[in-house]
Amino acid sequence: MKKCVFCTQPDIQKRVVAKNDLAFAFPTNIPITPGHTLIAPLRCAATFDELTDRELYALFALRKKIAVTLARVFGAEGFNFAWNEGEAAGQTIPHLHLHIVPRRRGDKGSLGYDPRKFLYRPGSREPSPERELQTIAEEIRKHLG
């Protein structure tokens, strides 16, 4: 992965819009829509599982505050919340960050953006057979411990 720009790039600190004791938020430099904001822990941690409970709480406390503000400022009617974890999932900065993308009906941000294109299986959107779902559920339960 690339060097962590969140920890080394001074311009990011100039864009910080909110901060608490363990997390900070700033507009991304490559927005999908106006107001697209990232929230990251202050400590450089690459994955969700590396965060402490306190860091998780701080991250999600800022998420709530930022979402309310983006709704008011940009007229957001909904949001996409997402993070990429690991290079195979598209993570390019080794510092976990939550994307908050304000959305409105008919918005034009990043033409063709559709989270279903990368979150769901490509091609058919037919429901999975119930037997397949039960097999997957049993396998997950078996390994939960």
Q: Which residues are catalytic?
A: 97
Which distant-in-sequence residues (6+ apart) come within 8 Å of 114 by Cβ?
none
